[in-house]
Structure 1
Amino acid sequence: MADLLELATDIVIAHASTTEMTSDDLMNEIKAVYATLKGLEQGEAGDVTAKPALTRRQAFKKDEVGCMICGKTGLTTLKRHLATAHEMKPGQYRKRFNIPQDQPLAATNYVEKKRQIALDRGLGNNLAKARAAKKTKAKKAKK
């Protein structure tokens, strides 16, 4: 049987081939995988629920968001990453990690910037005008 360290290294290499990781991330991942393999070898039951790779505080920052599944950071939004890397929808992600609906899955500064652009373009006003026009049109149609 292969040495546990070799197995752990092989597993981490496979993971690192699809996920960008720093050298510290690699070492921490090797330690975690090794500990898991050692526990399995000794007959200990592993955790049924996987712990998130990042805490919510680490995952949601002003300038970036991180994935709580794989630990990848430096993202502006999570939607595409979740779809491509984990084949998961935002609702499933929120449910898995108990993230409230009012918590955006994007960097705070990015959300605020997009909000300000929308306000500058008058999108909120245009929506209100369109709704009012639709309402008056519906009233005229009833008469």
Structure 2
Amino acid sequence: MTAPKLRAMDASGRTLDDPTDTEVHDLFASLNARWMFAIVERLDREPTNQFYFQIHLDHVGDQDPDADAEVDVDYDVEFRDGGPDKHYRARITGMYGFTGMDLVHKVFRAWRAEDPALKDLLQWELLELDG
């Protein structure tokens, strides 16, 4: 059996080895107020734990958790490409529901394919982590 090249996981602990694009889309789309982030890691790169794509849901505005209305969310998207000097972040705002998730998934697919166009899909900033 071949070792997986990608591993996706969410905050609940659900893990998928070598997930399809559809499985990743569903994983991202299932994020909610309780399970707010998911990560897809490249396992075939060195150094380990330094190549990944991450999404975090950020609920914005006044939200009534008991209401049936769809909540407003922004998406924080990050990718790391080898180390702290290659760790980028962007925020997707003002695109709710399926529209925002469609953009997140488009960005993910570019990351997965190592498409150079990834850098042009969002306004990325270098993320500088403290010490």
Higher relative contact order (CA 8 A, sep 6+): 2
Structure holding more helix per residue? 1
TM-score, normalized by length of structure 1?
0.25
Query: Normalising by structure 2, what TM-score?
Result: 0.27
Mark the structure with the bigger radius of gyration.
1
